Amino acid sequence: MPAVALVTGGNRGIGLGISRRLLADGYAVSILATREEPTEVLAELRELAGTAERVRYVQGSVAEPADHRRYVDDAVAAWGRLDLLVNNAGVAPSVRADLLEATTESFDRVLGINLRGPYFLTQVFANRVIELRGDLPVAGGRVVLPDAPVATIVNVSSISAVAVSTNRGDYCVSKAGVAMATQLFAVRLAPEGIVVHEVRPGVIATDMTAGVTSRYDALLADGLAPIARWGRPADVAGAVSLLASGRTPYSTGEVFHVDGGMHIPRL
């Protein structure tokens, strides 16, 4: 049985890049997304996997707690195990609004999807991993942790976790919250053999950024990032693949920047 990955929003943009990479790595992948089943995308993924049995699609919203258990239950029923959760699904504000004009409706929507959703999906996933894992061995009165993680959680945040945009404060707050949630769960889940990491993308070419292409073209040309190009979903997927590979078993709570060096302070 292949390792099993859950990828929220894995049918488009960065999430689709992650789904493709994980299938190429040999995972079985289940996608949670709000849209009706995207037949062309799923056909492509099943062809990449070499079998339809390694790809599942659950229609639902990460913002709905009832969908969390249904999503996890579906994967366990199909494959009997859980190895990786990628909290990728997210939204930008419907309207970019100055902080002095922002609405509670936009704030609640963005934080519900970007922060509250993955926070409680992580809770459901971790509890199910522990249930499937069973008790860890004890020696000398202490729990013996395995040399390799039992499971991995990767949260996809954004450079906006630390970079201020005063016309989309709700988005920045949501991603800063994801960064803290990563640290919280990393500490809480380490004794359970589960590691948690954050992947922090910069300017990535997706449908979310399509409306600001000219703005970021100019910023990149003006030196926004040392690697002066747009990032691609495959760039983010590579970071997820590395963190989920088990090759860094003594690390948790790490922030992996995928931003062309944008985060580096420069004079």
The b-or-e profile of 8-36 (16+ CB within 10 A means b, else e) is bbbbbbbbbbbbbbbbebebbbbbbbbee
Closest CA to 7 of 27, 24, 32, 26: 32
- Residue 204 phi/psi, 5-degree rounding, is -115, 135
The angle at the Cα of 9, spanning 263 to 78, to the nearest 5 degrees, equals 130
Cα separation of 128 and 137, whole Å?
18
Cα separation of 71 and 252, whole Å?
25
Q: Which of 27, 119, 171, 250 is catalytic?
A: 171
Q: How many CB atoms lie within 10 A of CB 37?
A: 12
Q: How far is CA 43 from the centre of its chain?
A: 23
Cα separation of 176 and 170, whole Å?
10
Element (H, E) at 155: strand 151-156
Active site residue 171: yes
Cα separation of 198 and 257, whole Å?
9
Q: Side by side, which strands form the sheet with 28-33?
A: 55-59, 28-33, 4-8, 84-87, 151-156, 194-201, 255-258
What CA dihedral angle connects 19, 24, 25 and 26, to 10 degrees? 100
Cα separation of 92 and 107, whole Å?
10
Catalytic positions are: 171
